[in-house]
Amino acid sequence: MRERFLTFLSLVPALGLIALLFGASLLYGITQSLGYLPFIQQETLSLEAYRNLLVGPSAANTEFWGSLGFSLWVSGAATLLSALLALVIVTFIGERLRAGTGSLMLLNLNLAFPHLVWAIGLSLLLAQSGLLARIATLLGLIDAPAEFPVLVRDRFGIGIILHYVTKGTPFLILMLLSVIRSQTEAYSMVAENLGATLWQRLRYVTFPLVLPGLTAGSLLIFAFVFGAYEVPALLGVRFPRMLSVLALEFFRNPDLGSRAEGMAISVIMALVVLVVAATARHLTSRSS
Amino acid sequence: MQHISRITFHASRITLYVLLLAPIAVFLLHAFSVRWFYPQVVPTEWTVEPFLRQLGTPRTRMALVSSLQIGLLTSGLALLVGYPAARTLGLREFPGKGLAFLLVFLPTVMPPVAIGIGLNILFLRLGLTGTVLGVTLVHLVPVLPYVVFTLASVFARYDPNFEHQARVLGASPAQIFFGVTLPLILPGMLVATLFAFLVSWSQYLLTLLIGGGQVITLPILLFSTVSGGNPTTISVLSLLFVAPPILFILLTARYLTSEAGGYEVTVRG
């Protein structure tokens, strides 16, 4: 009994604080999105903000669906590309990467880089008068800055996708290396001793072991990109905007009515992210 | 065959290195040069003047101090609050353990926009917006889970029998903690602390929403400099901003490379 009480007591500070802050943010977000705005004497609940966003007709409606599509496109493309790149790199040079501490340190360095700075670095690198454009000029590939392709602040979100691919791939590589380190070496060796070809080893040993982790990691990246703010704000254009950028603008709009719409967007984003994260967790718990 | 695979390996490795180091290189080139215009690939005039001038600016210094202050406060608090929970989660089995892990996990995936604008109203009422305390509290939302997860994984490999022996030999709780527990978990503790500091150091949106333009940390200053600032100023501030993460990796290199992939989630920036 005393044991139980102590267990409970030890969890209270951390879990209580998280529950309090996290719960309060959810509660306030949801009630405000339902139009509960006591500071303008509006205390009735309604689904008006959601209706405005989802069915319209309103300006918010047009923007919302465009932004949702754009958010899904950017997160989806960044996630798939990162997963593919990480799988290829780990399959072909994973063994050697693992042996070289220099590579591991660089991959960790990339992880520790704040997103804000990485995005700024990319924009200095990829701008039309940036370092890459200058190298292209030197090599005679282009004659003027305007000829260099628009890779940041472009309307297809290429800059944002590039950012998350360069940040997501190292994360997935490290994750896959740790999965492989803990499992496949022996299996792979056994398979080789039994006469399996390289392809057979990949197909029947490496991929099945690595795929659950890769899927879970990819889903986490998806959730993260989908909810991110500063990178799309820095590397994106005014139209189309990602949902997080739209939500913040609505929220900061002096017109208090659009505040509820901003909150509603953030609630919808939270729901999408929760579903994705739950799937990721389900996959991880099943595989381990 | 062996030969070709070695060439492929080195080619891929060099590409990887270039990709991973290019942003740092571009900051260094911009920060320590003047009049570096298109189409020059390498600057012709080098100088440390803009770097020193930026360091001397009161605005930059205050941002550095705020960032440091909030980072230290947040990591200290997170360690204090997170330690007991992490110990229990790592060492014990109890009903509801999965639920406890889920609760700690949730804030790490929740979009910062949702957390920030939700808490904005509450903190406004409590008078916490625009204060260092308010920003520290909101930073705990992403920081505390990292600390709990990192320390819980340390305790999962920890043998509490050493503590029993010390207790049997008559050691006091303080003696047990400082003489037995702490030395055993020190590497993990250090990583957790640095990690906590780094996550707080990287926060932009939560600081913006709770700090309300009154708490100016380095990322807030950097972000506002990006629109309209010149590349030199932006690069100098960027270098100041990434210095701690780079130091962090160099300091913990041995631990991290032996524990590659120990990160559960990417650092939110």
Residue of A1, A3, A6, A7 to mutate for B, most B C-beta atoms under 10 A: A7
**For residue A64, pLDDT beyond 60:** yes
**Tokens found for residue A281:** 């967790």
**For residue B207, pLDDT beyond 70:** yes
| Terminal Cα-to-Cα distance of chain A (whole angstroms) | 32
- Quote the pLDDT of residue A185: 59
CA B254 to CA B263: how far, in whole Å? Answer: 15
CA A185 to CA A190: how far, in whole Å? Answer: 9
Once rounded to an integer, what is the mean pLDDT over residues A24-28? 91
Residue A223 contacts B where some CB pair is shorter than 8 Å: yes
pTM of the full structure:
0.90
> Per the CB < 8 Å rule, is B16 touching A106?
yes
- Quote the pLDDT of residue B263: 39
- Among A106, A116, A276, the residue with its CB nearest the CB of B20 is A106
CB-based burial label for B113 (10 Å; 0-12, 13-18, 19+): buried
Residue A198 contacts B where some CB pair is shorter than 8 Å: no
Question: pLDDT higher for B32 or A45?
Answer: B32
Supply the ipTM of this predicted assembly.
0.89
Q: Which of chain A's residues have a Cβ under 8 Å away from the Cβ of B151?
A: none
**For residue A174, pLDDT beyond 70:** yes
Q: What is the pLDDT of residues A130-172, one digit of tens each?
A: 888 888 888 888 888 888 988 888 999 999 999 999 999 999 9
In Å, the largest CA–CA distance within chain A is 79
- Quote the pLDDT of residue A222: 95
> Per the CB < 8 Å rule, is B81 touching A14?
yes
- Quote the pLDDT of residue B193: 92
Once rounded to an integer, what is the mean pLDDT over residues B101-123? 92
CA A102 to CA A111: how far, in whole Å? Answer: 14
CA B140 to CA B200: how far, in whole Å? Answer: 8
Residue B265 contacts A where some CB pair is shorter than 8 Å: yes
> Per the CB < 8 Å rule, is A92 touching B234?
no
Please, which residues 227-256 of chain B have a Cβ atom closer than 8 Å to chain A? 231, 234-235, 238, 241-242, 245-246, 248-249, 253, 256
Residue A108 contacts B where some CB pair is shorter than 8 Å: yes
Q: Which of chain A's residues have a Cβ under 8 Å away from the Cβ of B41?
A: 131, 134-135, 138
Residue A182 contacts B where some CB pair is shorter than 8 Å: no
Residue B158 contacts A where some CB pair is shorter than 8 Å: no
- Among B82, B117, B263, the residue with its CB nearest the CB of A266 is B117
Q: Which of chain A's residues have a Cβ under 8 Å away from the Cβ of B223?
A: 116, 230, 234
> Per the CB < 8 Å rule, is B118 touching A274?
no
Residue A258 amino acid letter? S
User: Of the ranges A59-63, A66-70, B75-79, B157-161, which one carries the lowest mean pLDDT score?
Assistant: A59-63
Residue B87 amino acid letter? R
CA A226 to CA A70: how far, in whole Å? Answer: 10
Q: Which residues contact A128 (CB under 8 A, 6 or more apart)?
A: A145, A146, A148, A150
Q: What is the pLDDT of residues B67-91, one digit of tens each?
A: 999 999 999 999 999 999 999 999 9
- Quote the pLDDT of residue A36: 76
Once rounded to an integer, what is the mean pLDDT over residues A237-251? 92
